[in-house]
Amino acid sequence: MRRFMPGLRPLVLCLLALGPGARVYAQQPATASQVLRLMGCRFELTAVATTDTIAWQAIRAGVAEIQRIERLISSWDENSQTSAINRNAGVQPMRVDRELYDLIYRAKKVSQLTHGAFDISFASMDKIWHFDGTMLSLPTPEAVAEARQYINWQDIELNPTAQTVFLRRAGMKIGFGAIGKGYAANRAKALLQALPGVQGGLVNASGDLISWGTPPTDAGWVIKIADPKNKHQVLGWLQIGDMAVVTSGDYERYLEFDGVRYAHIIDPRTGYPTTGIKSVTVVCPDAELADALATSVFVLGKTAGLELVNQLKGVACLIVTDDDELFSSTDLQLNYYSSSTNN
């Protein structure tokens, strides 16, 4: 574990976007970039291509792909296959598209890897915890315990032959809030990458981002990390190639009761939201894995979280605690603007 100097107190973490609005540059190669709302959050797509037309075609294809994925995995949309699985909890297995089946299969693998810290069946807690400013007091321990008993990734039954998903117990519910944006970013990237004439790009799903190939300028793909104390100041930056950089931790979505700050991530062991960590950034080649791991580290906490990340080849992370202290895994390549830091 590398601990940073107390002088570097302030935390992170909004990844600064590359720029506002939609625009096209006249140079070669051509770059198109668009910001829009998808999956209930801010997305930015950038495509570098041989011509403007191709760059814009790529952006449109990426947007359509993300919208398609949203229709499949949303647990808010009653018509999605995910909602059908939830409605049939304890009733019957549901046949779903291979794509959704595989996503759930991979989510269960992350549960296994994290000893249940990551669990898409956290969603049974939806009715207890609300992170929209409407909660005025903590729920009763009885209410938390009652809802918590339905969290168990091992009760998500998958049948590969029938391609069905069955939540074994009535009251169970799944949700992809911790992995869906990363998955969508991966898929949009793969689609753009396969288009003839597209040389590089970036998909940024509200801080879950992945880049690849030729960058828009000689500066390369530079991911800036803002100092949350002053959003206009940059704390440090990462120079990345084909890589995902994913941040969990939304400063507007937390609860505070009796001086305790609760993040919007549920600890499946207790049914309570996690405490102690403000944000986690994970860097690895896969946005879906990075997304799932960033959420997992919140639950595991600083020590166990860093231990896990340090065991995973090609994965690095940065943790900001509630005390505004920074901790990183052993191989994080973060650059600092300030010369007083011990990077």
| Contact residues for ligand AMP, defined by CB under 6 A | 118-120, 122, 175, 177-178, 248, 264-266, 268, 291, 294-295, 299
Q: Whole-number minimum distance, CB 259 to Mg ion, in Å?
A: 27
Contact 107, 292 (CB under 8 A): yes
Query: Judged by CB, which is closer to ligand AMP: 144, or 195?
Result: 144
Question: Which residue, judged by CB position, is nearest to ligand AMP in the bound state?
Answer: 177
The interface partner of residue 264, options being ligand AMP, Mg ion, none and the CB cut-off 5 to 8 Å by kind, is: ligand AMP
Among residue numbers 307 through 326, which ones bind Mg ion (CB under 5 A)? none
Please give the distance of CA 117 from its chain centroid, rounded to a whole number.
Answer: 15
Give DSSP secondary structure letters for 255-277.
Answer: EEETTEEEES-B-TTTSSBP-SE
Query: Judged by CB, which is closer to Mg ion: 204, or 295?
Result: 295
Query: Judged by CB, which is closer to ligand AMP: 121, or 199?
Result: 121
Q: Whole-number minimum distance, CB 286 to Mg ion, in Å?
A: 12
Contact stretch for Mg ion (CB under 5 A) within 8-16, 155-163, 177-185, 224-232: 177-185
For 146, residues 6+ apart whose C-beta sits below 8 A from its C-beta are none
Please give the distance of CA 31 from its chain centroid, rounded to a whole number.
Answer: 25
Query: Judged by CB, which is closer to ligand AMP: 122, or 212?
Result: 122
Give DSSP secondary structure letters for 165-215.
Answer: EEESSTT-----TTTHHHHHHHHHHHHHHHSTTEEEEEEEETTEEEEEES-
Query: Judged by CB, which is closer to ligand AMP: 30, or 179?
Result: 179
The interface partner of residue 268, options being ligand AMP, Mg ion, none and the CB cut-off 5 to 8 Å by kind, is: ligand AMP
How far is residue 141's CA from residue 342's CA, in Å, rounded to a whole number? Answer: 44
How far is residue 144's CA from residue 272's CA, in Å, rounded to a whole number? Answer: 7
Contact 62, 192 (CB under 8 A): yes
Q: Whole-number minimum distance, CB 175 to Mg ion, in Å?
A: 12
What three-state secondary structure class fits 294?
helix
The interface partner of residue 175, options being Mg ion, ligand AMP, none and the CB cut-off 5 to 8 Å by kind, is: ligand AMP
Q: Whole-number minimum distance, CB 131 to ligand AMP, in Å?
A: 7
Binding mask 290-309 for Mg ion (x = CB under 5 A): -x--xx--------------
Contact 334, 2 (CB under 8 A): no
Choice from 178, 277, 317, 332 touching Mg ion (CB under 5 A): 178
How far is residue 343's CA from residue 335's CA, in Å, rounded to a whole number? Answer: 7
Question: Which residue, judged by CB position, is nearest to Mg ion in the bound state?
Answer: 295
Which residue's entry shows tokens 């996690």?
Answer: 274
What three-state secondary structure class fits 103?
helix
Query: Judged by CB, which is closer to ligand AMP: 216, or 273?
Result: 273
Query: Judged by CB, which is closer to Mg ion: 120, or 198?
Result: 120
Query: What are the backbone dihedrals phi and psi of residue 197, each rounded to the nearest 5 degrees, phi first?
Result: 95, -10
The residue ranges that bind Mg ion (CB under 5 A) are 178, 248, 291, 294-295
